[in-house]
Amino acid sequence: AKADGRGACRFFEPAMDARLQERRRLELDLRRALAASEFELYYQPLVNAQSSEIIGFEALLRWNHPERGQVPPAEFIPLAEEIGLIIPLGEWVLRDACREAAAWPRKLKVAVNLSPVQFRSPTLLHTAVSALGMSGLSPHRLELEITESVLLHDSAATLALLHQLRALGVRIAMDDFGTGYSSLSYLRSFPFDKIKIDRSFVRELGEKSDCLAIVKAVAGLGASLGITTTAEGVETPEQLDRVREQGCTEVQGYLFSRPRPASEVRALIDSRSTWVGQAAR
Ligand code: C2E
Ligand code: CA
Ligand code: CA
Ligand code: CA
């Protein structure tokens, strides 16, 4: 039986090898990329739902690969998390986003995504303190976006860390709300400043009445708890109307702008023209 097993194994080896090799290549490539400064932050506007004014930008990570071109985060963040590279990469993101935002007008804030893995590292608090200190960015202009999965692990330690971050003056947003489990109990365990309603609910607002009901319920919940609610992934004027009607306080999506490089954000701010006004008309 053993020999059979080995035989069977050998039969599958080439495919397995190719997968492992590809993974190994990507891993080495990722480590190299961080040293070679191939990562870049793009920024997407966060917009006041009523006035359509830009109130800040979410930083979104991009990898400018010398051969593969631009690689989206979904293709490398999971591996970066697995091999621990998300820690130094996440530090770079936080520092770079704070540095960039410190040059914007004071009323604009910056939102930064944090991986659950960063929450299991003892360095996160220090990283945040030093990113704020080095940039001179006022803490209330920094918003950290976390997903529900953060609260799945060791919630006492996580809650303590969230409270410490909050004590710095930083705001905490719950990202992708509605896609995980027991979202409501998480809202009770930590006082979030913002709920971001996942794009999947906004996308089907027109077709599915349950999506409308969910957006309405979450916006209502936010209103009664005094929490900002952001509708993600707003692509059409109809979706914008609907999320406004339901009482979402902020919106974000391709209708206003795709994520853009920092230089374009600076040019926009300097020219005081509005991508947003153009898109929303
Ligand atoms: P997310 O935090 O939920 O970010 C929103 C994603 O939706 C972004 O994808 C954004 O480009 C996209 N998006 C925004 N508006 C629209 C729209 O109207 N329609 C559609 N179809 N998509 C829209 P992106 O940039 O590819 O990022 C994907 C995910 O990667 C993010 O989801 C976040 O979970 C993660 N990510 C991005 N940057 C970072 C980072 O710096 N650190 C960590 N840990 N995760 C990051
Ligand atoms: Ca986010
Ligand atoms: Ca999201
Ligand atoms: Ca998402």
Q: Is 119 helix (H, G, I), strand (E, B) or coil?
A: helix
14 C-alpha to center of ligand 3: Å?
38
Angle at the Cα of 126 from the Cα atoms of 123 and 132, rounded to 5 degrees: 135
The closest-lying atom of ligand 1 relative to the alpha carbon of residue 255 is 18
For 26-42, the pLDDT digits (tens) are 999 999 999 999 999 99
Q: Exposed, middle or buried, 256 (CB in 10 Å: 0-12/13-18/19+)?
A: buried
What confidence score (pLDDT) does residue 276 get?
Answer: 62
Distances (CA, A) of 226 to 173, 218, 281: 13, 12, 30
- Output the six-digit token pair for 106: 């004071």
Mutate to test the pocket of ligand 1, among 60, 62, 85, 203 (most ligand atoms within 8 A of CB): 60
To the question of pTM greater than 0.90 for the whole model, the response is yes
38 C-alpha to center of ligand 3: Å?
24
What confidence score (pLDDT) does residue 11 get?
Answer: 59
Rg (C-alpha) for the chain, rounded Å, is: 21
Q: How far apart are CA 197 and CA 181, in angstroms?
A: 14
Residues 6+ apart with CB under 8 A from 201: 178, 211, 214, 215
Q: How far apart are CA 258 and CA 129, in angstroms?
A: 30
Q: Exposed, middle or buried, 271 (CB in 10 Å: 0-12/13-18/19+)?
A: exposed
Q: By alpha-carbon position, which residue is closest to atom 34 of ligand 1?
A: 113
Distances (CA, A) of 199 to 19, 35, 170, 176, 230: 32, 33, 24, 7, 10
What confidence score (pLDDT) does residue 6 get?
Answer: 52
What confidence score (pLDDT) does residue 150 get?
Answer: 84
- Output the six-digit token pair for 194: 């913002």
User: Is 96 close to ligand 1, i.e. is its CB under 6 Å away?
Assistant: no
User: Is 78 close to ligand 1, i.e. is its CB under 6 Å away?
Assistant: no
Amino acid in position 13: E
Mean pLDDT by 10 residues, the chain (281 residues): 50 75 92 96 96 96 96 96 96 98 97 94 95 98 92 82 96 90 76 94 86 92 94 96 96 96 93 60 43
199 C-alpha to center of ligand 1: Å?
10
Q: How far apart are CA 218 and CA 176, in angstroms?
A: 12
Closest ligand to C-alpha of residue 253 is: 1
What confidence score (pLDDT) does residue 281 get?
Answer: 43
Q: How far apart are CA 269 and CA 257, in angstroms?
A: 14
Cβ neighbours, 10 Å, residue 73: 15
Residue-wise over 210-249: b if at least 16 C-beta within 10 A, else e? ebbebbbebbebbeeeebbbbbbbbeeeebbebbbebbbb
* DSSP class per residue in 144-157: EEEEGGGGGS-HHH
- Structural contact between residues 141 and 160, judged by C-beta atoms closer than 8 angstroms: no
What confidence score (pLDDT) does residue 258 get?
Answer: 96
What confidence score (pLDDT) does residue 13 get?
Answer: 67
What confidence score (pLDDT) does residue 273 get?
Answer: 65
